[in-house]
Amino acid sequence: MRKEMKRLLAILLCLVLGLNLVACSKSEAAEQKPADFGSYGADFARQLAKKYPYRKAYSGTESEAGEMIKKEFESLGYKVETQNFTSIYGSNSANYIIHIEGSGFVEPDGKGGVNEIKKKVVIGAHYDSAFSADEVPEGYTYDGISDNASGVGCLVTIAKEIKNYGDLGFDIDIVAFGAGGDEFRGASQYFDKLSSEEQKQIEVMFCIDSIYAGDKVYASSGLNSLSTDGKYHYKMRRKLYQAYDVAYNDMLSSKNGFNLYYNESNIKMDLNGDGYEDTYREVSLNESDYSVFDSHDVPVVFFDSGDYFFDSIDKVKETKNLNLQEFDGKIAGTLLDSSEVLDEVQNVDDKDILEIRINNVSYCIMGTLKKGSDFGMTHAEYEESLKKIETTEESATSSSVAQK
């Protein structure tokens, strides 16, 4: 009888332990889910669009929207630089900038020491929208949720979550650009006001623009990655490939239902106007704030949404959805760029596509930064490499002594 009781108790104990292990494994799996940032970024994007739908460049509403973004950055504990600028006609706008100082990187100098390296990353999105109130006809619910409240949603998400990533080594500027609708004047003003040394230190510029409306989310490099022989410069696409790696290696598709595409239309044409035929692949002809950096030979990673998979440029559009064809499948910069319209069309099966895209694009950017610089190691990585060398040498010495 006692033996049977002991066996029963042992079985019960195993069951309890097994349940605990299952519970722990489920808990750990839940904790490890990538891009689990909640609805914060999407909520802010919708609030911005709802409160200030008509954020046309240089308008009073654009200014109020900028102040809203500034206050949100400040609520996250940041000191925000307001960079005022004017149009050629004297109208006012502003960039709002968060500066995050990194510890830098090091590389061996070949003499037993190291060289200190400073590298900078810019993460930006414009916050103005296409229309003023008097340009929107009656019957439309336009609010610029995709172009570009969605991009701003990424900025605040990154500002909030990047604190959990520790020291990434990079000096990081998170920038809400004003007056994107004026040939990206905010981005131009930001770049021009950097010192020549700071401009040279930029390792990559991440740009987010209109990621909600299109059928797919893409990441692209700049036209500066195309060479004169029609091929591409790998060095200008390193960060692009790292962003893909984050999405693939962390299984964002299976875990989050998020796919990061790259343009593989393979259309043959002269894309950058240098007289050579290029392949329309891994670049975009959709201009945005990144274009300023692209023109100065800064590597860029540009996130947008659309559908690039066509056999000619004139067919490329944002969406094939039959409910969104009033402007031939174009949403950004049209009257269909509306929370009311897109929330109804995009969100099926109780999935908030805006939340999914904001969180996962933000995650891809921060995951890319976590991979470090292409030009050196963080101080922590360097110290760790020294420890490994010392351990290897000690092990080799011990082995040699033992053999003797």
Q: 339-365, pLDDT tens digit by residue?
A: 999 999 998 778 999 999 999 999 999
Is residue 378 domain-resident? no
Half-sphere exposure of 300 (CA within 13 A, CB side): 29
The tokens describing 345, both together, are 């069309």
Task: Look at residue 360 and give its three-state secondary structure.
Answer: helix
Condensed to tens digits (0 to 9), the pLDDT of residues 92-102 reads: 999 999 999 99
How do 216-220 and 260-261 pair as beta strands? parallel
Is residue 333 domain-resident? yes
How sure is the predictor about 243, in pLDDT bands with cuts at 50, 70 and 90? very high
Question: Rounded CA gap, 145 and 153, in Å?
Answer: 10
What is the per-residue pLDDT for 397?
63
What is the per-residue pLDDT for 75?
98
What is the per-residue pLDDT for 19?
47
- Domain span including residue 174: 34-373
Is residue 8 domain-resident? no
Q: Report the CATH number at residue 109.
A: 3.40.630.10
Q: What is the DSSP letter of 243?
A: H
Is residue 11 domain-resident? no
Is residue 87 domain-resident? yes
Length reported for the chain: 404
- The helix (run of H) or strand (run of E) holding residue 301 is strand 300-306
Residue 9 pLDDT > 80:
no
Is residue 389 domain-resident? no
Q: Residues of the chain with pLDDT > 90: what percent?
A: 76
CA nearest to 42, candidates 177, 154, 163, 176: 154
Structural domain count of the chain: 1
Reading phi first (left if > 0) and then psi (alpha if -120 to 50, else beta), residue 88 is in alpha
- Give the global pTM: 0.89
Task: Look at residue 217 and give its three-state secondary structure.
Answer: strand
Task: Look at residue 81 and give its three-state secondary structure.
Answer: strand
- The most distant pair of C-alpha atoms in the chain lies apart, rounded to whole Å, by 96
Is residue 385 domain-resident? no
Encoded amino acid at 204, one letter:
V
What is the per-residue pLDDT for 287?
97
Give whichever of 7-16, 144-153, 311-320, 348-357 has the largest mean pLDDT: 144-153
Half-sphere exposure of 67 (CA within 13 A, CB side): 8
Residue 48 pLDDT > 70:
yes
What is the per-residue pLDDT for 401?
54
Question: Rounded CA gap, 30 and 374, in Å?
Answer: 32
Spatial neighbors of 34 by CB under 8 A, at least 6 apart, are 250, 251, 252, 255, 256, 360, 363
Locus of tokens 């990673």: 301
Spatial neighbors of 286 by CB under 8 A, at least 6 apart, are 209, 302, 304, 306
Condensed to tens digits (0 to 9), the pLDDT of residues 161-194 reads: 999 998 899 999 999 999 999 999 999 999 999 9
Residue 383 pLDDT > 70:
yes
The tokens describing 102, both together, are 């990194």
Locus of tokens 């103005």: 128
Question: Rounded CA gap, 371 and 245, in Å?
Answer: 10
Using DSSP, how many helices (H) and how many strands (E) does the chain show? 12, 13
What is the per-residue pLDDT for 20?
52
Residue 107 pLDDT > 80:
yes
Q: Would you give the distance in Å from CA 61 to the centre of its chain?
A: 26
Question: Rounded CA gap, 318 and 377, in Å?
Answer: 40
Q: Measuring CA to CA, how many Å separate 148 from each of 45, 121, 289, 296?
A: 9, 21, 11, 24
Cβ neighbours, 10 Å, residue 200: 13
Locus of tokens 């092990």: 395
CA nearest to 59, candidates 149, 161, 127: 127
Q: Residues of the chain with pLDDT > 70: what percent?
A: 88
What is the per-residue pLDDT for 395?
64
Contact of 71 with 127, CB cutoff 8 Å: no
- The helix (run of H) or strand (run of E) holding residue 202 is strand 202-208
What is the per-residue pLDDT for 381?
83
Condensed to tens digits (0 to 9), the pLDDT of residues 279-330 reads: 999 999 999 999 999 999 999 999 999 999 998 999 999 999 999 999 999 9
The tokens describing 14, both together, are 């195993």
